Chains A and B, each alone.
Chain A
Amino acid sequence: MFEIVKRQEMAQGSVVLNEINAPLIAKKAKPGQFVILRGHEKGERIPLTMADTDPEKGTITIIYQVVGKTTALFKTLKEGDRYLDIIGPLGKPTDIEKVDGDVVCVGGGTGVAVLHPITRAFKQAGNHVIAIIGARTKDLLILEDKMKAASHELHVCTDDGSYGHHGFVTDVLKELLNSKNVKLVVAIGPVPMMKFVCNITKEHNVKTLVSLNPIMVDGTGMCGCCRVTVGGKTKFACVDGPEFDGHQVDFDELTQRLRSYLEQEKQSYELFKTKLNA
């Protein structure tokens, strides 16, 4: 089990896709749910959202950005290699419904990978879906074709103007909010992006779903590591989320909690790079 059947590098190798053999999970998973993986006996458990599933083939697909030790280690895994542990599907599935108006799906960075199955599901549910995806620069953009297919209308943004609209996803979102009958926004990406999106949609009073990515350990509601404040109440993102009403989320607290282990993460990553080079 947990064999990598397909591996693909994206965004100049900074993002990696793995299709993994995990039949039980593939059968159960729904858009918005995630898995927790561990690569080796001394490894950390890290959460990644399923970007796709194939129940017939018994596979799940993850797309991750290489940011530290564990994701760098995952990057060294080749087709035919196995993950030690994969647990899931965890978290609540996205609440997919037919909305009375347009649905705008906004994705930034690797958030686009998480957004893709959700976008597709909203379209399949009969909604008119507009997608906006962004990246720092053209080469870091992922899943453009898939997002095009999953939506009715796709807008692409790059921060440096190397491709598509020159600017942030929020610029395009603002225009759409003014020109269209937007009833729901789904925003998934870096925390600052989600926070900005929510600030804008709040002004327009448009419901906004965000997918939160706090640090997790078990992913089953047992440890409380993933707690986030939503509407003034503490929620466990792994069981109550990971998706929440973005207008209620305390993003600043999430940002601070995500920085809990910066020093150790750096130490661990440096050590790994030294070993890898040796």
Chain B
Amino acid sequence: MAKKETLPRTPMPEQKPEVRKRNFDEVPLGYTPEMAMKEASRCLQCKKPSCVEGCPVQVDIPGFIRYIKEGDFAKAIRKIWEKNSLPAICGRVCPQEMQCEGHCILGKKGQPIAIGNLERFAADYEREHGTGELPPKAPPTGKKVAIIGSGPSGLTVAGDLILKGHEVTVFEAFHKGGGVLVYGIPEFRLPKDIVAAELKNLERLGVKFVYNCVVGKTITIDELFEQGYDAVFIGVGAGLPRFLNIPGENLVGIYSANEYLTRANLMKAYLFPEYDTPIARGKNVVVIGAGNVAMDAARTAMRLGAESVKIVYRRSREEMPARKAEIHHAEEEGIEFHLLTNPIEFLGDENGKVRGMRCIKMELGEPDESGRRRPVPIEGSEFEMECDLVVIAVGASANPVLTKATEGLELNKRGYIVADPETGKTKKKGIWAGGDIVTGQATVILAAGAGRKASNSIHKYLTWGW
């Protein structure tokens, strides 16, 4: 017992900052089996594991960690799969410090178990060394389910329902599946091969994917029902970029994070001209915002050869919403943080290209409705900041393309779909929804969790009609 407490957390080897800041390869390199078993041996196997309470889908954390400790990696991954169908992804991108690891008892005095790293290890080990054996499928039920959107929520529903014997088709607007996992989160944080492997497994199980299909435009939900689908799940995400609505925002060289990251990730513009899609390579880059999306944009800009990359954020360090690991990685790579600073105008040159930004200093006042102290401008503190490329990463809203084309869905005042938090049922019969289009931009595991709840409810509906 005493030994367990003193053993330090096993760090995961990483590419060195000087090297990785100019390449797109993954930053953390993964555990070896020995490292994983060593880290697993630190777990106290708590009777009432508080870590599990911190996980939105209640992965049996001590359960899978015990198998890793014993070297039975095949059992470990099967334990995780009981609750989470995307562990290679969640192990990499979950905000563990706020979830499982944040609740681990060892974190009270020392360092929590590296649950995310272990989850990633189990999934990677299975992908690389596993038998590839598919889980058993229930006999066909003759029921058909349409899933709209191939992000983590949609993929979870697809995986669950195909195993229960239903026919499953995923309709995706883009030419590739994965949602934010392929177009938003960069390669150096989530290699696209991993997402492709998940999609491949679903295909092997019999899930059909229809790409290039914008539901609401190419086909409507009512038409899907007419074609004989018995249930529809909507997992279209929160894909509408927010802008600042300040002068000069349409200058050349100002991107939304969605555009910047989609060009870089989905269209592989970082490999231009081998790939056809271009992207601007800035020398002095400014990224506005301080969430995961902002960190991803900043680190992408650095990898595209920027001399300086600045994060500009109107609140202070404490309020930065990004995962700790991302902020830490960004700092190591030389990204500068300009906090309590807000842009008020973009300045352009004679060709309409951005050349700078007027900013104002902020201070924190009274707490606002989000409970965070409201940033207020300091009068007379305006100053100019030079830049030749700006990425605006201040959040996303609900994209109305699908919801506008579908009658009978109830939306809240911000345009998100109203769905029962326990079942994902919408106000329209036969339609479920989950993920960012219900909650607003959240996390991969919350989207996957919503997918799991919806798939349980859809299965009941298809089996018993309620």
Contacts and interface: CB of A to CB of B under 8 A. Distances in A.
Given A87-B218, A224-B256, A69 B276 contact: yes
A84 B401 CA distance: 24
B250 A42 contact: no
Interface in B401-442: 401
A217 interface: yes
Interface in A85-127: 85-90
Interface in B81-139: none
Contacts of A257: 250, 252, 352
A144 interface: no
B101 to A, nearest CB: 32
The 7 closest A-B pairs by CB, nearest first: A256-B352, A264-B278, A223-B259, A44-B276, A224-B256, A222-B239, A85-B175
A91 to B, nearest CB: 9
Interface in B237-263: 239-241, 243, 245, 249-253, 255-256, 258-259, 262-263
Interface stretch (B208-216, B315-323, B329-337, B380-388): B208-216
Given A44-B267, A225-B259, A229-B250, A85 B211 contact: yes
A249 interface: no
B277 interface: yes
A234 interface: yes
Interface residues of B, number: 43
A225 B258 CA distance: 9
Given A87-B212, A88-B217, A257-B252, A220 B173 contact: yes
Contacts of B461: none
A228 B400 CA distance: 19
B273 interface: yes
A222 B240 contact: yes
A59 interface: no
Interface of A: 24-25, 28, 38, 42-45, 69-70, 84-90, 217-218, 220-225, 227-229, 234, 239, 252-253, 256-257, 259-261, 264-265, 267-268, 271
B276 A222 contact: no
Contact of B276 (A25, A70, A253): A70
A204 to B, nearest CB: 29
B268 interface: yes
Contacts of A261: 278, 280
Given A70-B276, A84-B175, A265-B278, A89 B258 contact: no
Contacts of B250: 227-229, 234, 253, 257
A28 B262 CA distance: 27
A264 B272 contact: yes
Contact of A90 (B214, B241, B251, B351): B214
Given A217-B262, A221-B399, A261-B278, A87 B214 contact: yes
Nearest to B240: A221
A70 B214 CA distance: 23
A217 B277 CA distance: 9
B111 to A, nearest CB: 39
A234 B278 contact: no
A75 B253 CA distance: 30
B18 interface: no
A37 to B, nearest CB: 10
B466 interface: no
Contacts of B263: 217
A220 B89 CA distance: 26
18 contacts: A24-B219, A42-B275, A85-B175, A87-B173, A87-B212, A87-B213, A88-B214, A222-B240, A222-B262, A223-B259, A224-B255, A224-B256, A224-B258, A252-B352, A260-B280, A264-B278, A267-B273, A271-B273
Contact of A222 (B213, B241, B253, B353): B241
Interface string B153-173: 000000000000000000001
A260 B243 contact: no
B274 interface: yes
A261 B275 CA distance: 14
Contacts of A224: 241, 243, 255-256, 258-259
Given A90-B217, A257-B352, A218 B276 contact: no
B277 A44 contact: yes
B174 interface: yes
B352 A253 contact: yes
A89 B173 contact: no
